[in-house]
A = this chain, B = another copy of it.
Amino acid sequence: MQDLDEFTVTEAALAQMAKTPDPRLKEIMDAAVRHLHAFAREVRLTPAEWLTGIQFLTAVGQACTPFRQEFILLADVLGVSALVNAMHDKKARELGTQSSLLGPFYREGAPELPRGASIVAKPSVPEIVIYGRITNNQGAPIPNALVQVWQTSEHGLYDLQAENAAEVMDLRANFRADADGHYHFRTVRPLGYSIPMDGPVGEMVRQQNRHGFRPSHIHFLIGCEGYRELVTALYFADDEHIDSDTVFGVSGSLVVNAKEDPDSPIPGLKAVRYDFRLAHAEAGDTGRVGADPSKLMKAAE
C-alpha cells in the first residue's frame, strides 16, 4: 500500500514516469518533477497558495490568443527565455552575432519589401536607416539571406497590439540581402515600451514593483540555407531602461546608436550600421526562442 509523505511522493512520481520510452522526455520530466517538488518543499507551499498558482497559470493560458502569447511573456519576465537563449548561444557566440529574445510579437507572413523601403506605414517622426551586411563567421558575405524585422512604433506599440490586429500588418517586413550580403531599410526609432500589463503576467510584474519596461529595440530574424537561424535584436543605447530590461534580453554587443553617417545608403537620414554574422548550421539546429502566437494556438487546439 502506498502511504506517501512529502519526500516519498517524489520517488513515487519518478517511479511512475520511469517507463517513458522517449529518453529525452523522461530526462526532462524527471528533472521537472524533482525541481517542482523541491520548490514546493522549500517554501512549504500551502493548499491556498497551490490554488493561487493554479488560478494564475489558468489565467495565463486563457489569456493566450492568436495575437497574444502570455506564456512566452511569463517565461520572458522570469528570465527563463534569456537563460535558454544564453545556453543555446554559448557555442555560436564566438562565431556569430549574439542572439536575443524573439519575444511574443513575432508574426509570420510579413510582406517582403525591396531594399531601402520603409517598414512604417505612417511615420510621425523623421525616419532612420538601418544597414549593414550579412556575413559568415569569417566575415565573408552571405548572399540573399532573408532578413525579417519587426518593432514597436515611435509610440511603443506593435501592430499585434492594435484593436484590429488581425487586419493590420505594420512595423514589420522581410528583406532579401543582395548578392554581397548588403541589407538596408528605413524605419522610425522605436519607443521602449511596457510589456502588456493588462493580463495576469502584467499583474504579477506590478505586484513585484518592477517597472515592466523593455528598452527601445528592433527585432531581427535572419535565415539562410546552411546557416543557423539568428534571432536577435538591436537595442538603442540612449534608452533609460537599457540596463534594466524586464525580460533580460539586452547584451552589450547588441547596443547601437542612430547617428549621422557619411556611409549611409540613404543620405540625410541618421543611420545605424550593424553587420550580422551567421554561424554554420548543425543538424537539428533552431535558434528560435519564440514563435508566431497564432501557430502556438493552433498547436494548442
Contact = CB atoms under 8 A, between A and B. Distances in A.
Interface of A: 1-6, 9-10, 12-13, 16-17, 19-22, 24-29, 31-33, 35-51, 54-55, 57-62, 64, 69, 71-72, 75, 78-88, 90, 200, 204, 207-210, 242-246, 248, 250-253, 255, 286-291, 296-297, 299-301
30 contacts: A1-B252, A2-B244, A4-B248, A13-B79, A19-B210, A28-B43, A31-B43, A32-B39, A32-B78, A33-B78, A33-B79, A36-B78, A37-B79, A41-B87, A44-B87, A47-B289, A50-B81, A50-B84, A51-B288, A54-B72, A55-B299, A55-B300, A57-B61, A58-B71, A59-B61, A59-B300, A59-B301, A60-B61, A61-B64, A200-B300
**Copies of this protein, total:** 2
B58 A69 contact: yes
A250 B3 CA distance: 7
B17 A290 contact: no
A28 B244 CA distance: 22
Contacts of A39: 31-32, 35-36
Contact of A58 (B6, B243, B300): B300
A87 B6 contact: yes
Contacts of A248: 2, 4, 9, 12-13
A235 to B, nearest CB: 9
A6 B248 CA distance: 11
Contact of A291 (B28, B43, B45, B51): B51
A4 B36 contact: no
A45 B87 contact: yes
A151 to B, nearest CB: 20
Given A3-B252, A49-B28, A71 B57 contact: yes
A16 B210 CA distance: 7
A90 B32 CA distance: 25
A222 to B, nearest CB: 15
Contacts of A36: 35, 39, 78, 80
B6 A208 contact: no
A209 B35 contact: no
